[in-house]
A and B are shown apart, each in its own frame.
Chain A
Amino acid sequence: MPQSITLKVNGKSKTISADPNEPLLYVLRNDFDLKGAKYGCGLQQCGACMVLADSKAEPTCLRPCVSFENMEITTLEGLQQNGKLHAVQQAFIDVQAAQCGYCVNGMIISAVALLENTPNPSDQEIRTALNPVICRCGTHSRFIQAVKLASETSNA
C-alpha cells in the first residue's frame, strides 16, 4: 500500500506517496523529475543508477525508497553549488569524458564519493572506485584522466 515518505534530495525535503518498497530510482526520476540517475539493469550490476547517500555512492535500482528516509541524498543534478559545477563535472567536460553518456551519472557519482575520502587517488584507486559502473562505449581511460584532473583542481 502506498504511504507517505519524506526524502531529502539535493538539500530539499519532499513528501511523496508511494509503495515503500518502490526502489528510490523510480521515485527520483518520476516524482522528483531528476533524470540523472538511470535504469541500467535493476540488479545492482551496472551502476547507472548511483546517487550519493550520506556521501556514499549507492545504487538505487533495488533498494526501497523508504530506507533512504533520514539520509542526505545527492543526485547528479545536485552536485553543482551556486551555479558552479563540481570539480568532477567540470573535469568530465574538460576531458570530454563521455561517448553516449549513459554511464556518466554512475561514473561522476562514484568519483565524487572517492575524492571525498581520497583527495589524491592513485590510478588503481580510481579504477577500483569506478569498477562497479559499466561503460559500453569504452570511455574508461578518459574517466580515469578526468578523475585525476578533478583531484588536481580541487586540491589546487
Chain B
Amino acid sequence: MEDMQSLNSSRRSFLKTTGHLLVGFNLLPLTFCQTKGAPNEILPYEGVPFRPITDSKLIDSWIKLDAEGYLTVLSGKQELGQGIKTALIQIAAEELDIHPDRCHIINSDTGQTANEGFTAGSNSVEGSGSSIRQAAAEARQYLLKLAGQKWNVSPSSLQVENGNIKSPSGEEISYWKLLEGKFIEKKITGEVSPKNPKDYKYVGQPLKRDDIRKMVNGESYFVHDLQMPGMLHARVLHPPSYLSQLQSVDLTEVESMPGVLKVIRNGSFLAVVATREYQAIKAWEKLKSLADWETVPIEILPGQLLASLKSTSGKPEEVEVSPGIADTISNASINHQAEYFRPYHMHASMGPSCALAIWEEEKLTVWTATQGVYPLRSTLSDLFAIDEDKIRCIGVPGSGCYGHNGADDVSGEAALIAKEIPGKHVRLQWMREDEHKWEPYGTAMAFQLSAGIDSKGKLLAWDSILWSDSHSTRPNGRAASFISARKLDPPFEFRKGGFSAGSYRNGIPEYSLQAKQLHLYTFDGPLRTSSLRGLGAYANTFAMESFLDELIHKSGNDPIDFRIKNLEDPRAKAVLEELAEKTNWKSKSKGANTGLGVAYARYKNSTSYFAVLAEVEIDKENKDYKLKKLTGVIDSGLTINPDGLKNQTEGGMIQSASWTMMEEVNYDKNGITGTDWASYPIMRMMDVPELEVHIINRPETKPMGAGEAAMGPVAAAIANAVFDATGSRIRNLPIKPEKIDWEKV
C-alpha cells in the first residue's frame, strides 16, 4: 500500500508539473491507478496519459477509458461558454451508462482530439455530439461482447450500471477491469444503434456545468490564467489604424526600461517582452508614445457608408431567382417596399484576447482560445513556413467570443514573439483597445425588400436585395488572416474568401410563397469583418421580420395569426402557438405607454425554431423607451440539457437586445473611435429586460444547434414593439430613442 501511494503521488506530481495540460506518455500501467484495500474506492481523476490522435474513425479518438473508474471524452469542439463540455459528456455518459460525475472531457487539442474544423454555427451538438454518441454506443457494444465472451452469455442479456457490467447470474465486472488497461482501438462502423431516447437517463436532464463550479471557486480556468515556469509577459503595439505604416521608432529607451527583455520590430509589427506583466504594459505605453506612424485615412466614413455599399458595382450573386416576381408583387392587393440597415457590430469580448506560446527545438506549442485549433495550426504553418506536425495548438477556454474575435490574431502574435525568445513561455494579452479596435466586426449590411399579399392575408411573393461584406475571414491556412502578418516585412497579402452563404443566411423567407427571389451584392467595406454570432441571419431576420410586421400592419392582421397562417411547418406554427399561450396573447391588454412586438425565425431555415414577444415601455416626456420583457419559445429538437439550452437562449436574447438597441462601431478617418466600454457601450444590469424562455422538447427528433437562434428574432421583435408603442418604424439599427419621431407618439 505504501508503494502504491508513493507511485500515485509521483504520478500526480508528474501530471501536475505540466499545468492543466496532460502532456506525457503512459509511463505507468493502468493497474497502478487502482487501490488495493478498498475495491469500491475510486481515486481522484488525474487525467489520461497523452496519446496522439491517429485516426478520427477510431472509437478511441472520442472515448477513452484509460483512467480507472472514469470516462474521458475527446472533442474537437471548444468550450466557448455555451456549455458544450457538459452536453457532450451527457451524450457519452448516456450511451455508456457511466454517471456524468465520472466523466471528463478534453476539448480541441491538435495533439489528441479529432479535427472538427471550427466551433461555430451552433454545430457542436449536431457534429461532435453525433460522433461521440456513435463512438460511445459502439464502445458499449464492444465491452458487452467482451463480457459476454468472458462469462459465455449473450451480450444482450447483460446490464450496465455506472460502468459495471452485470450478468443475469450475478457476475459483475467494470469496464476498466474488463479492458485490463487496453485501449478500444476499433473502427467506428456506424452499424450500432445508439440508445432509444425513451431510455435516456442523463440526456435531457438539467445537469450542472462543472466548469461553472471552477469559475465560481476562482480556480484557474481561462487561457488568461495559465501559469508556466519562467513565463514572460508580452504586449503588442498595434498601429493606430488599419492602413498605418510605422515610420520610425526609437527602441533604445524602451529597451532600457526595468524588466524589459526584448523589443521586437518587424515592419510595422511592434512588441515588447518583459519579466513582469506590468513592466510589459509600461513598455507598451512608452512604445506607443514614441512610435511615429503614417496613417492613410479611411475613405468611406459612417455617414457615407450606406450610399457607398449600395453603389457596389458589378453583377449581384443570384441566390434565388423568380422571373416575373416584380409583376406579381405590383399586382398584389397589398404590396410594400422598404429598406433596412445594420451597422458594424463588435463581438466585444469581455476579456481581451490572450494566448501563450513557446518554441522549443524548432517546434511551436500554442495555448489558444481559438474556435478552431486545426485551422489555426495550418495558418501558423503558413506564417512560419514549417510543417504542421511541428506545431501543436492546445485549446483552452477564453472569454466568450461569439464568433471570430481576436483569439486567432493573438495566437499568431504570441507565436511571432515567442520565436524571438526560444525556450521561454510567452504570455501575450491584448489591451482593451486592441480588442475593440482590431477584432473583425460583424459587417454592416443593407436590405431592400419588397413583397405582396392577397386580400385574404396570404403572402404571395417576396423579393430581396442585400448588400454585405464578408462574414468569414477566419484563419484558413493563409497567414494573412492574422492581422499582424499583414504588418510584417515583407507583409503577407490578404485576400478575402468566397464564402457568401453567411451573408444570405435566413435571407430567403421560410414562409410559403409562390415566388421568392434574392440577390446579393458583396462589397468591400472600410472595416475588418468576420463571423459574428449568427452571421447574416441576425440582420436578415431583423429586416425580414420587421418588414413582415409592416405588411401585417398595412393589412390589418394579427402578428401571430398571420405568421401561423403563412407557415407550413407544424413545428414553426407550434412555437408561435406556444408563445401566444404563454403570453396570454389573445387577452393581453396593452397599456397606453407600452408596445408589443412579435418575431419568428427558424435559424438557417433548417435548425432551431424560435418565436419571441418583446414588450417595451415608452417615456414620452423624456423621449426614451425601455425594453421591459422578452418571452421566447424555442424548439431545438431533442434537448440535451434544458438548463443549458435556456441559458444559451437567454444570453442570445440579451446580447441581441444590446446590439439592436445600443450598438454600432464608430470610426472616423483616423480609425476606430469605439475603443472601450465608454465609447462602445453595451447593455448593463440596469437595462436588461425581464426574461422568460420556454422549451418545446422533441425527444423523437435530432438535437439541433441553438446558440444563435434568438439573435435575429429578438432584433425584429424590439423594432416591432417600438413601432407598436410609438408609430415610428426604425429601419436603421441601432434603435436609439433619438430615431423615434416623438411628435407622432
List which A52-102 residues lie within 8 A (CB) of chain B: 75-77, 79-80, 85, 89, 92-93, 96-102
A136 and B402 contact, CB distance less than 8 A? yes
List which B207-246 residues lie within 8 A (CB) of chain A: 208-209, 211-213, 215-218, 220-222, 224-225, 227
Tell me the nearest residue of chain A to B349, going by C-beta. Answer: A136
Is there a chain A Cβ closer than 8 Å to B446's Cβ? no
Highest count of chain A CB atoms <10 Å: which of B82, B279, B350, B682: B350
Q: Which B residues lie within 8 Å of A48 (CB)?
A: 350-351
Tell me the nearest residue of chain A to B225, going by C-beta. Answer: A35
Q: Which A residues lie within 8 Å of B83 (CB)?
A: 99
Is there a chain A Cβ closer than 8 Å to B429's Cβ? yes
List which A1-60 residues lie within 8 A (CB) of chain B: 2, 18-19, 22-23, 26, 29-30, 33-36, 38-43, 45-46, 48
Is there a chain B Cβ closer than 8 Å to A131's Cβ? yes
Cα(A134)–Cα(B218), bound, Å: 18
Q: Which of B278, B658, B677, B691 contacts A141 (CB 8 A)?
A: B691
Q: Which A residues lie within 8 Å of B688 (CB)?
A: 138, 140-141
Shortest Cβ gap from B407 to chain A (Å): 12
- How extensive is the interface on chain A, given as a class? 35 or more
Tell me the nearest residue of chain A to B277, going by C-beta. Answer: A26
Is there a chain A Cβ closer than 8 Å to B456's Cβ? no
Shortest Cβ gap from A31 to chain B (Å): 9
Is there a chain A Cβ closer than 8 Å to B385's Cβ? no
- How extensive is the interface on chain B, given as a class? 35 or more
A102 and B400 contact, CB distance less than 8 A? yes
Chain A-chain B contacts (Cβ-Cβ < 8 Å), number: 171
A43 and B432 contact, CB distance less than 8 A? yes
A137 and B400 contact, CB distance less than 8 A? yes
Q: Which B residues lie within 8 Å of A18 (CB)?
A: 276, 278
Q: Which of B276, B652, B676 contacts A41 (CB 8 A)?
A: B676
B82 and A99 contact, CB distance less than 8 A? yes
Q: Given A96-B643, A133-B685, A137-B81, verify A105-B218 contact (CB < 8 Å).
A: yes
Q: Which B residues lie within 8 Å of A139 (CB)?
A: 647, 650-651, 654
Shortest Cβ gap from A1 to chain B (Å): 8
Produce 1/0 per residue, B638-658, CB < 8 A to A. 000001100110111111011
Q: Which B residues lie within 8 Å of A38 (CB)?
A: 222, 224, 351
Q: Which A residues lie within 8 Å of B217 (CB)?
A: 76-77, 80, 85, 89
Q: Which of B276, B658, B676 contacts A138 (CB 8 A)?
A: B658
Cα(A130)–Cα(B449), bound, Å: 42
Q: Which B residues lie within 8 Å of A103 (CB)?
A: 350
A-B contact pairs, 27 of them (CB 8 A): A19-B278, A29-B225, A29-B277, A36-B218, A38-B222, A38-B351, A40-B432, A42-B432, A43-B676, A46-B677, A75-B218, A98-B81, A98-B216, A99-B81, A101-B222, A104-B216, A105-B218, A134-B350, A134-B677, A136-B400, A137-B81, A137-B651, A138-B650, A138-B683, A139-B651, A141-B691, A144-B685
